Amino acid sequence: MKPRVLHLITVYNGRAFVPRAIKSAMRMEKSVADVDVLVLDDASPEPGWSQELENICDDLGAQYYCTPHNLGIPRNCSLGLATAVRKNYDYVTINNSDVIFPRNLINMMIEACQGDRVGSVTAWSNNVSIYSLPNVDPDRYLASQETVDFLSEQLATKFGSSVIDVPAGISFCIMMPVDVVRTVGVMDPVFGRGYCEETDWSLRSLAMGYRLCLAPGTFVYHQGRGSNLAAGLVSGAHTTVPENEAIIDQRYPEFRNQCDAFEKSGIMPRYKTEAIDYLLQEAAERTGYSIVPGWDVCPKGVSEEAMRVEVHTEGQAHLRYFYAGFEQVWPFNETNMLSEPIRRFGVNKLRYNAFDQAMGGTAQLGTGYPLEVW
């Protein structure tokens, strides 16, 4: 018998992005587990939105519940966790509503949960606190279902069900075995309308001997702050609630030091470099690649969607490998700097070379570096 997963999406307003999240959730693969999607509407005050949201859920086949009055994020999450316990689900996920889920999410998250004493698994994303996989403009490059599916599939191939032990989980997209929830409990209502409640839950579970893990074999697009801005939790440049941060500092005085130690360990930079290396390689294999000057990165005939290698000669000369907002920058010190991308991606996948000469020979840039022509 397949395990059962309750996939919670917490909602408060968000008409502009919530339907996209629900649609992506309803198309997730169910080959490994039976998945029920439950949308928890925390009494959204936007006129007509709750009725519209209920209709969307009915049309897509998602479950829907609207609280009689606003609970705040911690209590709304606890409502979902308690439902998972009461109805004997095997796993429960808590998710923001400003996200796009990949097709393989549940399959990969369940695999990641199989490790010894795993208490929670957070998905990888462009916007997941100190664990983020950096992207220069995620809202521009990543906010499509096709892109999210591709990225998550490639990362699953690269990293599989491996996990990274981290200082805390992030509930923008987190999976918990329900047996762990039974032991640890639900979110603490002291965190009011929200922020830091999942940090408190994580550290409580850690104190009970459970591991907190990140799954690099997944990728969920996260708009970031969208759901919290819609809820009025933060505004402007604010990214958290100081009063709730103070509760964490009082309860767990070593937590900040643990986060600092994790950041200094070099674990995440290594994984991020490996991930971006692999994504660039797979993008070149999938769409081919172009070699272009840094001042004209999309010449006529070069798709902005494809992988490219930009040649920059201003300042310290360097190559910028770029795909879908993911980048790597490498200074060059060879006479023929274009030999490196050719070696890396192959000549057969080279779709366009801005330095090619109709008559053959060698193209020259302003700095005098000779560029081999193929």
Residue 121: beta bridge partners? 175, 213
pLDDT at 47: 97
Angle formed at CA 297 by CA 294 and CA 298, multiple of 5 degrees: 165
For 31-81, write each residue's pLDDT tens digit. 999 999 999 999 999 999 999 999 999 999 999 999 999 999 999 999 999
- Split at pLDDT 50, 70, 90, the class of 335 is low
Q: What is the mean pLDDT of residues 155-175?
A: 97
What is the widest separation between alpha-carbon atoms in the chain?
75
pLDDT at 359: 29
pLDDT at 228: 47
Please report, for the chain, the start and end positions of each structural domain, with discontinuous segments joined by +: 4-265, 287-371
Tell me what percent of the residues of the chain surpass a pLDDT of 90.
Answer: 78
**Tokens representing 193?**
């309308």
Q: Compute the distance between CA of residue 342 and CA of residue 86 in angstroms, rounded to an integer.
A: 58
pLDDT at 372: 45
Residue of 303, 150, 133, 292 whose CA lies nearest to 216: 133
pLDDT at 365: 42
Q: What is the mean pLDDT of residues 345-359?
A: 78
Angle formed at CA 248 by CA 78 and CA 118, multiple of 5 degrees: 60
**Tokens representing 48?**
């007509």
Q: Is the pLDDT of residue 116 over 60?
A: yes
Q: Are the C-beta atoms of residues 325 and 351 closer than 8 Å to each other? A: no
Q: Compute the distance between CA of residue 183 and CA of residue 185 in angstroms, rounded to an integer.
A: 6
Q: Compute the distance between CA of residue 221 and CA of residue 145 in angstroms, rounded to an integer.
A: 9
In the block, residue with structure tokens 């220069």: 136
Name the region of 332 (left: φ>0; alpha: ψ -120 to 50; beta: rest).
beta
pTM value is 0.90
Q: Is the pLDDT of residue 262 over 80?
A: yes
Q: What is the mean pLDDT of residues 305-309?
A: 89
pLDDT at 223: 96
- Split at pLDDT 50, 70, 90, the class of 169 is very high
**Tokens representing 109?**
């998250």
- Split at pLDDT 50, 70, 90, the class of 270 is very high
Residues 351, 138, 170, 182: is their CA dihedral positive or negative?
negative
Coil, helix or strand for 350? strand
pLDDT at 333: 64
Q: Compute the distance between CA of residue 199 and CA of residue 351 in angstroms, rounded to an integer.
A: 47
Give CA separation, 347 vs 38, 249, 288, 341, 351, in Å.
49, 55, 10, 9, 9
Considering only the top CATH level, what class is 4-265?
Answer: alpha beta
